[in-house]
Amino acid sequence: MAKKYDTIIIGAGPGGMTAATYASRANLSVLMLDRGIYGGQMNNTAEIENYPGFSSVMGADLAEKMYASATQFGAEYAFGTVENLERQADQTWLVTTDMDQYQANSVIVATGAAYKKLGVPGEDEYAGRGVSYCAVCDGAFFRNQHVYVVGGGDSAVEEAVYLAGMAEQVTLIHRHATLSAQQILQKRAFDAKNLDFIWNTEVQEILGDGQAVTALRLHDKENKRDYEVAAAGIFIYVGLLPVSDMVAGLDVRDERGWIVTDETMATKQPGLYALGDVRQKALRQITTAVGDAAIAGQNAYAYNEAFKTDTLTQEIQG
Q: Is the alpha carbon torsion for 245, 243, 36, 164 positive or negative?
A: positive
b/e code 102-116 from CB counts within 10 Å (16+ = b)? bbbbbbbbbbbbebe
- Residues with catalytic function: 134, 137-138
Distance CA 112, CA 100 (A): 22
CA angle 100–103–108, rounded 5-degree value: 100
First to last CA, the chain: 24
- Nearest by Cα to 58 from 67, 49, 66: 49
Backbone angles phi, psi at 139, to 5 degrees: -55, -35
Using left for φ > 0, alpha for ψ between -120 and 50, and beta otherwise, residue 230 falls in beta
- Cβ contacts of 71-75, under 8 Å, gap ≥ 24: 71/20, 71/24, 72/21, 73/21, 73/24, 73/25, 74/24, 74/29, 74/30, 75/20, 75/21, 75/23, 75/24, 75/30, 75/31, 75/32
Residue 228 DSSP class: E
Distance CA 78, CA 104 (A): 15
Amino acid making up residue 1: M
